[in-house]
Structure 1
Amino acid sequence: MKLHLTTTAALCALAASTPAFAAPGDPVKLSDSVTIDPIVEGRLRYENVDTPSLDADALTMRLRAGFELKHASGLSVLAEAEGSLALIDDYNAFPFTIANSQRRPGFAVVGDPMTVELNRLQLQYKGKAGTLTAGRQRINLDDQRWVGAVGWRQNEQTFDAVRAEAKLGPVSIDATYANSQRTIWGIEAGPRRAFDGDFGFLGAGARVGPAQVKAFAYLLDYDAAEQVGTLAAPNADTQTYGARATAAFKLSKTASLALAASYARQFDWQDNPADYGADYVAGEAALAVGPVTLTGGYEKLGSDNGRAVQSPMATLHKFNGWADLFLTTPAAGLEDFYAGAAMKFPKFKALPGLNAAVTWHRFESDAGSLHYGEEWDASLGFKLGRANLLAKFADYNAANLGADTRKLWLQVEFAY
């Protein structure tokens, strides 16, 4: 794997010398009824990509700054700007055709373009009856399989939306209307900077015995202008209905079991020219014994009539391997069989918060009996002063989809 060794050494040295950043502080009191909470976050990351045909080296720095002003009545205003700078730019920031200097097709893709933008600007009221949020906001729903902020990338995905959350007796209600999806691609991405339309995210949940159960509906109706080659995912206008259940069981003083299961069915909708109905199925079990957690799971994004389940608003890096080969579901669908182990090291005082994890994936098609490939993912994280450090590695071995891909990340992150 080709690697800028001097860059890696410099980043490790920076991590080792990172000062003790201030811990997230309490809001500052401006009066008896008004407080202000500053927002300062930073993340420096090196990413290396190695494929048979293209490589990439990216060293990027992301900064966020803003504030949240709160009144004792429950009313608050939050404003936050975000900017990313490329210190090493041997990478292709845009995996789509665009006349921009950050599109460098001679390198592999790293989805962290340089950009400066208004990330969030929201007005919120939080009371006993519920919470109402209006404006540009971060939205993470459930496990982020359908709607998420794509927090792994340097430029966050946010939404121009109105969101209402309430609890009616034992039932929790969460309803959002959004008219703009502010993508990770930033201000220089042309029409992909944001996708406009009418988007509804609806959920209702309650506790049923030991399980937390939720029914949901996601209705995506992109504007007609967005349908002409600008959207990354095919059959973008979709309606998805389903349910999700989670439960946790204490087995002993040192052991516990967590279960999660989801089912959904996705159909074409509005201007979608396709005619299909495909199933989504997911199940996961995690057994924790002391500092060790063993996880096994299965996820299917089904295919019907040549179309597969898509989730273009999800935090996709969380799913189907960190090498990101399946950001768009193949037309034949996807089955992901995975197993992993994670361990914490609380007695290792020299590196507080030290943790390690490894996961194996096997990828198959839903239709056509294709073996796409296999992937190993591994991570190591710890704290140094007030900074969080992370190393991650992904190794995808291709069979009938894509090419062998290896990715390495070294990251330092702080927040105030």
Structure 2
Amino acid sequence: MKNINLLFSLICFVSISVSYAQLTVDAELRPRYEYRHGYKTLFSDDVDASSFVSQRTRLNIDYQSEKLRIFLSPQDIRVWGDVPQLNTKDNNGFSLHQAWAEVFIDSSFTLKVGRQEIVYDDQRMFGSVGWAQQSRSHDAAMVKFKEKNTKLHLAAAFNQERESLTGNILTLNTYKSFQYIWANQTWNNFSGSFLFLNNGMQNIEANQYIEGVSYSQTAGFHLNFKNNNLKLSSNFYYQFGEDAFKNDIKAYLVSLEAKYKTNDEFSFRLGGELQSGNDNTLINDGENNAFQPFYGTNHKFNGFMDYYYVGNHANSVGLLDLYANVNYAFQPLTNFDLTAHQFFSAAELDDDSSKDLGLEIDFVFSHQLNKDVGLKLGYSHYLESTGTQVLKNNFDGNTNNWGWVMLTVNPEIFKFSFD
């Protein structure tokens, strides 16, 4: 209740203390039912499928004047039933997803500071991870430049667990610091982005965090070309430096996708992505060849069942993902989407196994009930191979599928301009 009173006090203060500004408040309520029977890993014998409803509830407050913008986004994330009835206290899921200020220095430069989503290009390296109920945000400072068709961002972040008198060891499962530069240029039918990320991880020794930070570097390009109904996009990234265990990193990601839109109803996509890995999932002679898509929206890539790179598959055999997609808009408010992924390991699994990691089919149906309410449902099925069994260390041979239904209620509560 104190948090709600604070938010409304801020709204009232802003409303009476400025000469010209705009204030927008919107809300999001997103319950999602899931049935998990082989989600993220192969389903084992003698266990039951999981079913639950999770929910995201957000209030977004966006204030903007000529020289300043402030954005606040408190949220509550919960699973239905995780707090008992008649409970006198509920602190389980409340958090502050975003809280940032952007100062407009002049027509080209801005300074943005605070907890914020960082999203670039196709979200391969930096994304909001919107599928996850909690999503991803960073405590960072950013300088932004924009003029005509050119954009340039410089940003930095430094993480600590708490205020302290001595020491800088970070034991949380996150980065210690990062610095990056992102540049984007747009022409008539072509656009390109360059990213250089210097990523610092707390050193680990004997499974314990120790003093010191190892830095890895990721450099590469995201490219787009569009001509009438054809769109081509590609990623090229290379990683070097050190991982948290002080192994040398030599890794890469390459992808290419073609999308063709026949009309307002049908579109098709064909593509492939290769992320390098380590033979037999082992780091040999202090050299780590496994690519890490650090802060991307990984759920968007490599199959919705999240077998790869969503809290798993780090420092493993890498991945070759060949995929095909068809999208059909039955009407302006209704959409069908079907994707097939054929997976292979990029490096050797072992001396005997094929690199074939199986096939995944993802189906999603979407319907917009009205301007504030949308409905989505999905079903995914993973057809495992011997390679999948070796990688996941499960040889039970069970069916692996996953289904979900999600309702998104996102109304604009009010929008007010005053001068």
Contact kept, 8 Å, 1:323 with 1:394, in 2: the verdict is yes
In structure 2, distance between residues paired with 1:157 and 1:378: 25
Judged with a 3 Å threshold, the aligned counterparts in structure 2 of structure 1 residues 375 and 124 are, in CA distance, closer, same or farther, namely: same
Contact kept, 8 Å, 1:77 with 1:123, in 2: the verdict is yes
Q: CA deviation at 1:383?
A: 1.2
Query: Paired residue for 1:392?
Result: 378
Secondary structure at the residue paired with 1:317?
helix
The one-letter amino acid of 1:325's match is: Y
The one-letter amino acid of 1:395's match is: H
In structure 2, distance between residues paired with 1:316 and 1:207: 25
Judged with a 3 Å threshold, the aligned counterparts in structure 2 of structure 1 residues 146 and 181 are, in CA distance, closer, same or farther, namely: farther
Q: Which protein has the larger Cα radius of gyration, Structure 1 or Structure 2?
A: 2
Judged with a 3 Å threshold, the aligned counterparts in structure 2 of structure 1 residues 128 and 337 are, in CA distance, closer, same or farther, namely: same
1:85 paired with 2:78, answer yes
Which of the residues 296, 303, 308 maps onto 2:277? 303
Within-5 A mapping of 1:169-318: 171-180=150-159, 195-207=174-186, 210-224=189-203, 228=207, 237-250=215-228, 256-269=229-242, 271-290=244-263, 291-303=265-277, 305=287, 307-318=289-300
Query: Paired residue for 1:380?
Result: 365
In structure 1, distance between residues paired with 2:186 and 2:288: 38
Cα-to-partner distance string for 1:349-384 (whole Å, 9 max, x where unaligned): xxx610001000011011225111110001000111
Cα-to-partner distance string for 1:59-101 (whole Å, 9 max, x where unaligned): 0121011412222x23022222110221156xxxxxxxxxxxx
Alignment root-mean-square deviation, CA: 2.8
Secondary structure at the residue paired with 2:139?
strand
1:407 paired with 2:402, answer yes
Query: Paired residue for 1:60?
Result: 54
Query: Paired residue for 1:35?
Result: 22
Judged with a 3 Å threshold, the aligned counterparts in structure 2 of structure 1 residues 159 and 80 are, in CA distance, closer, same or farther, namely: same
Which of the residues 339, 342, 349 maps onto 1:362? 342
Q: CA deviation at 1:272?
A: 4.2
Query: Paired residue for 1:5?
Result: none
- Residue-pair matches, total: 343
In structure 1, distance between residues paired with 2:357 and 2:160: 30
Q: CA deviation at 1:392?
A: 1.1
Q: CA deviation at 1:169?
A: 6.5
The one-letter amino acid of 1:405's match is: N
Secondary structure at the residue paired with 2:299?
helix
Q: CA deviation at 1:179?
A: 2.2
Contact kept, 8 Å, 1:274 with 1:307, in 2: the verdict is no
Q: CA deviation at 1:226?
A: 11
Query: Paired residue for 1:128?
Result: 107
Structure 2: runs of 5 or more not aligned = 1-13, 83-90, 162-169, 279-286, 349-353, 413-419
Contact kept, 8 Å, 2:194 with 2:222, in 1: the verdict is yes
In structure 2, distance between residues paired with 1:263 and 1:66: 35
Secondary structure at the residue paired with 2:36?
strand
Which of the residues 335, 338, 349 maps onto 2:323? 338
Alignment TM-score, normalising by the size of structure 1 = 0.75
Alignment TM-score, normalising by the size of structure 2 = 0.75
Which of the residues 140, 149, 156 maps onto 2:128? 149
The one-letter amino acid of 1:293's match is: S
Contact kept, 8 Å, 2:142 with 2:156, in 1: the verdict is yes
Secondary structure at the residue paired with 2:72?
strand
Q: CA deviation at 1:175?
A: 1.8
Judged with a 3 Å threshold, the aligned counterparts in structure 2 of structure 1 residues 236 and 301 are, in CA distance, closer, same or farther, namely: farther
Identity percentage of aligned residues? 23
Structure 1: runs of 5 or more not aligned = 1-27, 90-112, 183-190, 251-255, 347-351
In structure 2, distance between residues paired with 1:326 and 1:207: 32
